Amino acid sequence: MRRSWVEQVMGMPVSVLARGSSAGSDAADTAVQALFTSLREVDRVFSPYKPDSDVSRLGRGEIGWDDVSPDVKDVRERCAAAGELTDGLFSAELPDGGWDPSGLVKGWAVERAAELLRSVDGLDWCLNAGGDVLVVCPSAEPFTVGIQDPRDPGRVVAALARQSGAVATSGTAARGAHLYDPRTGRAVRSRWLSVSVSGASLEYADILATVAFVAGDEWPAVLPPGYEGLGVLADGHLHATAGWGTG
C-alpha cells in the first residue's frame, strides 16, 4: 500500500510518501501530522521573514541570547560546529553582522521531525522538503530520488536509489546569488549550477551541499568520508564523486 501527504511549511512543499502495510494506519497519519506541526513550530521560531520569530527579534536587538528558546541555542552551537568542521566554509554569521542559520535549520528540523516517522513499525517512507530528501526503508526496497535539473525544474538530470539516508542540493538556479563565501563576505559566483550531496544525515548533507557549492571547483575535496556528491555545470555536464550512486 502507498499513501502520501503534502503541506506547504517553512515556505516550501513538504511531502511524505509512505509504503507498506502500515501506510494506511492511524499511527502513520498521526506521525505525519505531528511532523508537520513540528516543522511549523520551527518556522515560527527561526523564520527570518516572520517579524516575531526569535531570529528576527535577535536581529533587531529586541532580545539577547539569554532570551531565546533552547532550540535556538542548540542551533547556534550546531552552526559553530559546522563552521569548524568545514574550515570556515559554513557560517551563520552574515557579512552585515546579522545571524541567519537557514543553511542548517532545514536539514536539522526535518531530520529531527522524521524521528516521528521512524516510530511507525514496518513503514517505508520518503520525506521530501523542498528538494532535500530523507529515506528509510525497513523493507530494503529502495525509493528512487530524482536530482532536479537546475536549468529546467521539470526535468531530472540523475536518479539515485536509496534504501536509507539523505540527499540535499544547493545552488543558485532557483533563488539567484543568495549564497555567500564566509571567507570573503561576497556572493558566490560559480560555473556550477548546483551540487547535490548524499549521506547518512540530512542535517550534514544539507550543510555539505552548501559548503560544496561555495567551494566551487574544489567541491569534491570538501566532502568527508561517507558523503558523495554530484555537480551540475552551467553547460549541463555532470561530475560525480567515485561513490555517488551507492547506498
List the domain range (segments joined by +) for residue 229.
Answer: 2-240
pLDDT band at 216 (very low <50, low <70, confident <90, very high): very high
CA-to-CA separations, 90 to 46, 50, 63, 98, 182, in angstroms, rounded: 18, 24, 25, 15, 7
pLDDT band at 181 (very low <50, low <70, confident <90, very high): confident
Q: What is the mean pLDDT of residues 197-224?
A: 96
Residue 168 falls inside a structural domain: yes
Residue 75 falls inside a structural domain: yes
pLDDT band at 184 (very low <50, low <70, confident <90, very high): confident
In the prediction, which pLDDT does 247 show?
53
CA distance 136 to 114: 10
Provide long-range contacts, Cβ within 8 A and 24+ apart, for 216-220: 216/188, 216/190, 216/191, 216/192, 217/191, 217/192, 219/192, 219/195
Cβ atoms < 10 Å from Cβ of 152: 11
Question: Does residue 180 carry a pLDDT above 90?
Answer: no
15-24 per-position pLDDT tens digit: 999 999 999 9
CATH of the domain at 192: 3.10.520.10
Residue 246 falls inside a structural domain: no
Query: And the C-alpha cell for 245?
Result: 550512486
Residue 167 falls inside a structural domain: yes
Residue 245 falls inside a structural domain: no
In the prediction, which pLDDT does 174 show?
56
120-151 per-position pLDDT tens digit: 999 999 999 999 999 999 999 999 999 999 99
5-38 per-position pLDDT tens digit: 999 999 999 999 999 999 999 999 999 999 999 9
Q: What is the mean pLDDT of residues 153-173?
A: 91
85-108 per-position pLDDT tens digit: 999 999 999 888 889 999 999 999
CA distance 26 to 32: 10
Question: Does residue 237 carry a pLDDT above 70?
Answer: yes
Which range is least confidently modeled, 61-75, 103-117, 181-195?
Answer: 181-195
In the prediction, which pLDDT does 106 show?
96
CA distance 128 to 4: 11
Q: Total domain count for the chain? A: 1
At which residue does the C-alpha cell 552551537 appear?
Answer: 77
In the prediction, which pLDDT does 177 show?
53
Q: For residues 41 and 96, which has the higher predicted lDDT (pLDDT)?
A: 41
Name the pairing type of β-strands 238-240 and 2-9.
Answer: unpaired
Residue 213 falls inside a structural domain: yes
Question: Does residue 196 carry a pLDDT above 80?
Answer: yes
Residue 90 falls inside a structural domain: yes
Mean per-residue pLDDT over the chain, rounded: 93
In the prediction, which pLDDT does 56 show?
96
Residue 26 falls inside a structural domain: yes
